[in-house]
């Protein structure tokens, strides 16, 4: 079924390319790159009109639909916003591995250097690579050669088909996504600031209680009053950020009907009564088959990606003051009786309170790194932790559509390109606060 859908995408793109593309198709002989330049001190910034000109020019020169180049540019580097180097060593606008760049990199800008950090060089080189991989006769196979993953080919061809003949679609969706991601990140950072302010107030309260002299206690109480103002300001900032996020989510809602667009916008991926608990798609969300010391799943995702109720459920416990180990989180009981615990959220949705009834796919918070965490991710486990979440059929069914496996070798030949790096999920973003909650929290097992 998926192959048929992708075949339809390929045929649609072939029609979009038109017969004129076949007339100009040629792999223009160019000298391969002699070396891979280092990243520039100031990354190149291009507007949408400039990018469109590069996609269309490279597509016409090498017989590749410009929509495919635009989609790869989006998936690989988010239109130049995340150019690496990736964990695999891929670099630049189109995420070339250095060895591949030395073979296929071209100087399209005419400055005398084939540079993967230069948008023109990278986009024309990607078109050259796709042409050499047989894009003229097998677009699916050429994109698969670019990155050996079916989900990747599906995402690229779906995006390319969605871009279609309307040159404004790619940029309209990109703007929508950037506004939504900015709003989520703002909420996550505001949550961090509020936690820090609360921690400061609590620390001063303890110091004031222990102060041996009245004069010392009065001085501490002055600082405590200032800290209270900071805490109140942080709370207002978080409330404002939540309202902005709600507006961005409402604006994105209509566009999320398309599965690929929904993935980019972080919409929940649902199947058979279950929803994958983290949005963002396989390009940025990943998980290993096992946990390092007991049954659990650490679902890596960028800071601020949405976390969802994985099924129709009832909240058993929730805590917005970070547990020293689990951070901010909740425990819910799904409709089938299974009990699940979420850990390390950046913020918890205000509606997630004990006894609250949640619908599958309802947002419960944002991915964070609170508690004992080395980077942003959602820690998910059953209560009791008798089996791995990854062994659940519903969980496995989302592989390649909602997440990618971290520890699954890529089939076929070594990848010439790296996986998309949008968000750099492994990088810790923001402080980790370890504040002991006033009320007891769920008894869970988890670690870093």
Q: The domain spanning residue 330 has which CATH number?
A: 2.70.70.10
The stretch 245-270 carries a mean pLDDT of 75
Minimum mean pLDDT among 7-16, 132-141, 353-362, 383-392: which range? 7-16
Beta strands in 274-397 (DSSP E): 274-275, 286-287, 297-300, 306-308, 313-323, 327-334, 339-348, 357-358, 363-367, 377-382
The alpha carbon of residue 145 and the mean position of all alpha carbons in its chain are separated, in whole angstroms, by: 23
Helix H, strand E, coil C: the string for 122-164 is HHHHHHHHHHHCCCCCCHHHHHHHHCCCHHHHHHHHHHHHHHC
* Alpha-carbon separation of residue 71 from 87, 135, 425, 439 (angstroms): 21, 15, 21, 48
* Residue 238, pLDDT score: 87
Q: Considering the chain, what percentage of its residues have pLDDT values greater than 70?
A: 81
Residue at 234 is within a domain: yes
pLDDT higher than threshold 70 for residue 3: no
* Residue 250, pLDDT score: 80
* Shared-domain flag, residues 280 and 378: yes
Candidates 388, 88, 425, 86; CA nearest to 279 is 425
pLDDT higher than threshold 90 for residue 269: no
The stretch 39-59 carries a mean pLDDT of 91
Residue at 420 is within a domain: no
* Shared-domain flag, residues 251 and 272: no
* Shared-domain flag, residues 98 and 184: no
Residue at 220 is within a domain: yes
pLDDT digit string, tens, across residues 288-329? 988 878 899 999 999 999 999 999 999 999 999 999 999 999
* Shared-domain flag, residues 283 and 324: yes
* Residue 444, pLDDT score: 39
* Residue 198, pLDDT score: 87
* Shared-domain flag, residues 283 and 373: yes
Q: Which 3 state secondary structure label does DSSP give 429?
A: coil
| Model confidence band, residue 101 (pLDDT cutoffs 50, 70, 90) | very high
* Residue 400, pLDDT score: 86
* Shared-domain flag, residues 399 and 273: yes
pLDDT digit string, tens, across residues 412-445? 333 444 333 232 222 222 222 222 233 333 333 3
Residue at 286 is within a domain: yes
> pTM of the entire structure?
0.70
Residue at 161 is within a domain: yes
* Residue 33, pLDDT score: 67
* Residue 168, pLDDT score: 82
Domain boundary among 261, 289, 312: 261
In which residue are the tokens 């790619």 written? 170
348: containing domain: 268-405
Between 201 and 21, name the one with better pLDDT: 201
Q: Which 3 state secondary structure label does DSSP give 411?
A: coil
Residue at 297 is within a domain: yes
| Model confidence band, residue 249 (pLDDT cutoffs 50, 70, 90) | confident
Domain boundary among 239, 261, 283: 261
* Shared-domain flag, residues 331 and 257: no
Minimum mean pLDDT among 10-19, 201-210, 248-257: which range? 10-19
Residue at 412 is within a domain: no
pLDDT digit string, tens, across residues 109-121? 999 999 999 999 9
Residue at 175 is within a domain: no
| Model confidence band, residue 209 (pLDDT cutoffs 50, 70, 90) | confident
* Shared-domain flag, residues 199 and 324: no
Candidates 310, 318, 355; CA nearest to 335 is 310
Helical ranges in 164-322 per DSSP H: 169-210, 214-253, 259-264
For the chain, the domain total comes to 3
Minimum mean pLDDT among 30-39, 164-173, 231-240: which range? 30-39
pLDDT higher than threshold 90 for residue 258: no
d(CA 212, CA 217): 8
């Amino acid at each position: 079924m998926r192959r048929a859908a992708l075949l339809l995408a390929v045929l649609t793109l072939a029609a979009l390319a038109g017969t004129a593309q076949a007339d100009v198709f040629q792999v223009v002989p160019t000298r391969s790159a002699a070396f891979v330049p280092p990243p520039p001190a100031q990354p190149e910034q291009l507007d949408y009109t400039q990018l469109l000109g590069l996609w269309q020019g490279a597509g016409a020169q090498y017989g590749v639909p410009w929509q495919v180049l635009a989609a790869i540019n989006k998936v690989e580097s988010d239109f130049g916003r995340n150019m690496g180097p990736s964990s695999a060593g891929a670099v630049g606008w189109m995420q070339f591995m250095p060895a591949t760049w030395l073979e296929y990199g071209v100087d399209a800008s005419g400055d005398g250097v084939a540079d993967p950090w230069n948008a023109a060089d990278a986009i024309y080189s990607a078109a050259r690579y796709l042409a050499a991989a047989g894009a003229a006769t097998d677009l699916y196979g050429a994109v698969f050669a670019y990155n050996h993953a079916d989900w990747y080919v599906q995402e690229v061809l779906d995006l390319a088909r969605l871009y279609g003949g309307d040159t404004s679609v790619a940029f309209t969706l990109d703007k929508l996504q950037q506004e939504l991601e900015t709003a989520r990140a703002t909420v996550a950072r505001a949550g961090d600031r509020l936690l820090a302010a609360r921690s400061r107030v609590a620390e001063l309260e303890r110091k004031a209680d222990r102060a041996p002299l009245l004069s010392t206690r009065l001085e501490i109480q002055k600082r405590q009053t200032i800290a209270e103002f900071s805490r109140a300001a942080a709370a207002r900032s978080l409330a404002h950020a939540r309202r902005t996020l709600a507006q961005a989510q409402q604006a994105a809602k209509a566009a999320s009907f398309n599965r690929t667009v929904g993935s980019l916008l972080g919409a929940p991926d649902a199947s058979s009564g279950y929803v994958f608990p983290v949005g963002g798609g396989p390009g940025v969300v990943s998980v290993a088959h096992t946990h390092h010391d007991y049954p659990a799943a650490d679902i890596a995702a960028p800071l601020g990606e949405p976390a969802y109720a994985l099924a129709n459920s009832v909240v058993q416990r929730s805590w917005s003051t970070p547990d020293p180990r689990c951070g901010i989180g909740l425990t819910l009981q799904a409709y089938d009786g299974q009990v699940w615990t979420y850990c390390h959220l950046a913020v918890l949705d205000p509606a997630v309170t004990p006894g609250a009834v949640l619908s599958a796919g309802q947002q419960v918070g944002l991915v964070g790194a609170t508690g004992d965490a080395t980077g942003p991710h959602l820690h998910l486990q059953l209560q009791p932790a008798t089996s791995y979440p990854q062994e659940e059929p519903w969980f496995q069914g989302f592989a390649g559509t909602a997440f990618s496996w971290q520890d699954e070798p890529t089939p076929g030949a070594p990848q010439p390109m790296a996986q998309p790096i949008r968000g750099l999920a492994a990088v810790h973003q923001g402080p980790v606060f370890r504040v002991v909650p006033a009320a007891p929290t769920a008894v869970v097992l988890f670690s870093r």
